[in-house]
Structure 1
Amino acid sequence: MAVVRRDQRAPGGESTAIRLLALLPGDAGRCTEVDADRVRLRIPVSGPAGSRAARRALRAVLADRALLGWAEEPAAG
């Protein structure tokens, strides 16, 4: 999964990556790629239910005011 900066006034990728990891539950994920406008996350899941739960968790975290201007990157396909 990845999040992308939609508002250039939003904080950059490095501080966003730290916030994402701090707000995700437990050891839910890790950042595998960080640049100014995109953060790629690896969140281990098991099956479709796990994937849906991971997306719900990411969306809940992105609702935090500290992450305004960032959004989930649409899945390819």
Structure 2
Amino acid sequence: MQPTCWTRWSVYEYMKHRFVCTGEVPDERELLEELPDIDKSELIEGMAEFRLILGDWPIAGSDKPCEVR
């Protein structure tokens, strides 16, 4: 197995950029398309870090905060 260059911070930065540009939070499917071969634990940690930082900020098209989705 080849090591991957993608880390939890790659996930966090992609999610942050996508949210700032569109007001939408990318789902796991989109993240896997953008960050191929990422380790599952890195993906989960990056998503968790983003949700921790985003907190109760409302998401476009929803009345629910990020952590609820």
Whichever structure has more helix as a proportion of its residues is 2
The higher relative CO (CA closer than 8 Å, separation ≥ 6) is in 1
TM-score range, shorter chain: 0.3 to 0.5
Query: More strand by proportion, 1 or 2?
Result: 1
TM-score, structure 1 normalization: 0.35
